[in-house]
Structure 1
Amino acid sequence: MHTVNIAIFASGSGTNAQKIAEFISDKKYLQDSTIYPKEICINPKLILSNKPQAYVLERAKKLGIDSFTFTPDQLRDGRQVDAILDKHDIDYIVLAGFLLKLPERIVNKYNQKIINLHPSLLPKYGGKGMYGDKVHQAVLESGERESGITIHLVDNEYDNGEHLFQAKCPVNKHDTADTLAQKIHNLEWKHYP
């Protein structure tokens, strides 16, 4: 069996990071052999955050997953983060609520091996500064009738990589940023992983 080690990057509470790690640890991915070949063992090996107080680090501890924090300057430089990824033999990177742009050094090294979740139907409402409630507010202000999530590969531009999957939800006239956020979270938890 071939082992694939993943690193999860998160900036906040880590709800999605925990769901991904549990899904993988419980081997639920093996239930669908059309997507995940049975000869592959996926291992959530590392959780990284740019915020030392982020609750995702506590979740990592409870899950028994190594964690590492870094400053924005360390990420921009890339060498220290790259060394940690190498030390843990990381094959793929999963972004789960990670708010910083990865440096070219890491994006190029893990070309086509970095996956992100964005809370809109890209290419709409993507790009620098478009995350969380800012996205939901922009969707509402534009009068959209639907929103959703996009799972995509990461390249050197914000929210620009190849789309792997999209899921939609309706936007009602009485929706607020909070109610729309809950609909989006439900899609995230269902489809990512």
Structure 2
Amino acid sequence: MAIAPPTATERASRVKLMIFDVDGVLTDGGLLFTAEGDTMKGFNSMDGHGMKLLRQAGIETALITGRKSGIVAARAKEMNITHVYQGVQDKLQAFSDLLQQTGMSAQECGYMGDDWVDLAVMLKVGFAAAPANSHPEVIARAHWVSEARGGYGAAREVCDTLLRAQHKYEALLAAACSGEQRGLVG
């Protein structure tokens, strides 16, 4: 008798470390350049708040991105993300390093990516997620796809999905409604 593969919710319930790509996931993928050649990126505050909620619920977060940017370093610092890999040519190697650093298994990790460079990691983790506007090959291989586009709430959706799957969403919502989450901004 064949055993059905785990559902996305079952997979999400086991995530202890959620990893995010940056461009196209935490941003809309657009790159704005100043006349001096500096790059600017926009981040969604709800995505940031969702990532803070994950950490508050005991789920670690990390970033693995191909570009190197002071903007990403500043955003990661603001959000207290300690595992930040920038300028990465080989995301699978960065993922391997992250597993070694955290002591987690690949099956305890989730990854949200949007393009081919993310596939190698997405195929290794226990929970692979993608924004709605990801490349079709990424969507075809994801366990879960957001309704929102990258940079427009996709990361928040996956955070909420993890919190619900792990039965932590309602307690965090109740704390927010009672004012117990003061100062927790994205």
TM-score of the superposition, structure 2-length normalised? 0.49
Provide TM-score, normalisation by structure 1. 0.48
Higher share of residues assigned helix: 2
More strand by share: 1
Whose relative contact order is higher, 1 or 2, with alpha carbons under 8 Å and at least 6 apart?
A: 2
